[in-house]
Amino acid sequence: MTNALTVTGLSRGYGAIQAADGIRFEIAAGEVFGLLGPNGAGKTTTIECVLGLVRPDSGSVQVCGIDALAQPQVARAKMGAVLQATGLPDKITPREALEVFGAFYPAPLKSDALLDRFGLREKQGAAYDTLSGGQKQRLALALAFVGDPQLLVLDEPATGLDIQMRRELHDHIREMKAASRAILLATHDMDEAAQLCDRIAVIASGRIVATGTPAELIVGGGSLEDVILTLTGGLR
Amino acid sequence: MTALLSLTFLGLKLNFRNRMAILYGYLFPLIFLVAFWAVYRSDPVPLALHLGQFLTVTILGSACFGLPTTIVSERERGVWRRYRLLPAQGWVFLASVLLSRAVLLVTAALLQLALAFAFGMPAPAHPLGLLIAFAAASFAFLGFGLVIAMLVDNVPAVQALGQCIFLPMLMIGGVAVQLESLPAWAQHLSLFFPGRYAVEALQLSATARACPGPDSILPRCC
């Protein structure tokens, strides 16, 4: 069966800094794959290469068997994403955003269903600049789901969310997993990674330094946090 | 095509929800028109010899400020980064911005013409020619707007660069001040400002008289 995502030998440098250096991993359908590492480790660069926002210096990215570097538009139709820093026009409403964004996909989900699913029904006609931070994040998630993606890419999606919103986010991720969709999750939150991820890649200085299930990574004892800190050079 | 139309329609709706965009897009062109009418009210036929000028001012305002301000402010807020995640090529987003801006320009020009007719301006001699000249000038100057948006990093820089292009064309480029009123050096300098050619093309369509300066590229018929 074709992997939802296959990344091979992905490298990307910015001047003297090698942000991604030979990154290699794959994600199967129905799998939640975590990217863990400290700030500047290369998580976001890897994700930007996967999404086609940044062209890698070398390597390949295949999304559902599609070469994402050769056919980025076709690959993007299979993906949904929530990035750390994106926005929407100030005066757009959640309903308009869902309908306009949905027009780009071959089989978009219904706006009404997404408004209900992400708790935005009451705010469907409100301007984006009047939404709270949590509501904006819900809309970002709803927009990531609008194309009914085979692969969901989340770059630290829980940043700034309260506990309830965080739980809702985790529920959405589990629903996606249950629907045999793949999720690539970059996070700082060790608990989140341990709870949600089937496998985790620990990334440091642009390289993957360990890959395995949360249980495999902590086989030597201690917590996942200890393991990550040790692997990334945070504990000496 | 559905995506392009949806995005274009959205751009129009968002523009009409923005008070400042309406102010700059519709009120300012009308203010310029009234100013032209007031300054040249001794003309035997109201505004007929200045149609090219006030329409070009509207086009320039939209190209130097309206379009790049929209693009750069959205880029600053990460909107274009979000658009890049969509399964479409970049030209779709640029085309939607240009199309919605063209619609805004046409409606602003129609408003200006309606008010000009109310002031007693006669109908243009060649309406189709006027439409073609307006479309050509609009897309040419909107291209300028895209270049401005590409060159600057933030909205204040749009205003600065926009003014650097807008004001010289108005003052010594034959757009707001007629070429005949300018000193010889300014008339020669105006050859390098594209605004005067837009004025000439529009005016020729409106009155079948270009009334150009001494170095006109158009046949002299005044």
Regions of chain A short of the pLDDT cut 70: 1, 220-222, 232-236
Q: Report residue A187: phi and psi, to 5°.
A: -150, 155
A51 to chain B: nearest residue by CA? B85
Average pLDDT value for residue range B93-109: 94
Task: Give me the pLDDT at residue B214, please.
Answer: 46
Task: Give me the pLDDT at residue B45, please.
Answer: 85
d(CA A87, CA B180): 50
Task: Give me the pLDDT at residue B216, please.
Answer: 47
d(CA A30, CA A201): 17
Q: How far is B83 from chain A (nearest CA, A)?
A: 9
Q: How far is A143 from chain B (nearest CA, A)?
A: 10
* Local confidence band at B219 (pLDDT 50, 70, 90 cut-offs): very low
Output the six-digit token pair for B51.
Answer: 């149609």
Q: How far is B80 from chain A (nearest CA, A)?
A: 8
* Local confidence band at B215 (pLDDT 50, 70, 90 cut-offs): very low
How many contacts (CB atoms, under 8 Å) link A and B? 66
Chain B partners of A141 at a C-beta cutoff of 8 Å?
Answer: none
Chain A partners of B6 at a C-beta cutoff of 8 Å?
Answer: 99-100, 103
Mean pLDDT of the residues in chain B = 89
Task: Give me the pLDDT at residue A150, please.
Answer: 95
pLDDT of B103 over the 60 cut: yes
CB contact under 8 A, A86 and B81: yes
* Structure ipTM over 0.85, yes or no: yes
Average pLDDT value for residue range B165-194: 90
Task: Give me the pLDDT at residue B210, please.
Answer: 55
Q: Does A45 map to a domain?
A: yes
Closest by Cα among B52, B28, B24, B54 to B39 = B54
Q: How far is B87 from chain A (nearest CA, A)?
A: 4
d(CA B11, CA A225): 46
pTM comes to 0.85
CB contact under 8 A, B81 and A104: no
Output the six-digit token pair for B185.
Answer: 């050096």
SS3 category, A137: helix
C-alpha distance across the termini of chain B, in Å: 46
Task: Give me the pLDDT at residue B218, please.
Answer: 45
Domain coverage including residue A58: 5-78+149-231
Closest by Cα among A151, A162, A138 to A185 = A151
d(CA A42, CA A23): 9
Percentage of chain B lying above the pLDDT 70 cut: 94
CB contact under 8 A, B84 and A53: yes
When divided into structural domains, chain A yields a total of 1
Strand A32-36 relative to strand A58-63, pairing: unpaired
Nearest to A92 among B14, B87, B89 (CB): B14
Which site among A86, A99, A143, A184 would you substitute to test the B interface, given the most B Cβ atoms closer than 10 Å to its Cβ?
Answer: A86
SS3 category, A11: strand
Q: Does A29 map to a domain?
A: yes
* Local confidence band at B222 (pLDDT 50, 70, 90 cut-offs): very low
SS3 category, B189: helix
CB contact under 8 A, A89 and B79: yes
**What are the residues of chain A with a beta carbon less than 8 Å away from any beta carbon of chain B?**
51-53, 73-77, 79, 81, 83, 85-92, 96, 99-101, 103-105, 127, 143, 147
Q: Does A142 map to a domain?
A: no
Which site among A100, A111, A151 would you substitute to test the B interface, given the most B Cβ atoms closer than 10 Å to its Cβ?
Answer: A100
Q: Does A107 map to a domain?
A: no
Any idea what the CATH number is for the domain that residue A16 is in?
Answer: 3.40.50.300
B88 to chain A: nearest residue by CA? A73
Q: Does A236 map to a domain?
A: no
CB contact under 8 A, A77 and B3: no
Q: Does A143 map to a domain?
A: no
Closest by Cα among A149, A195, A199, A150 to A34 = A199
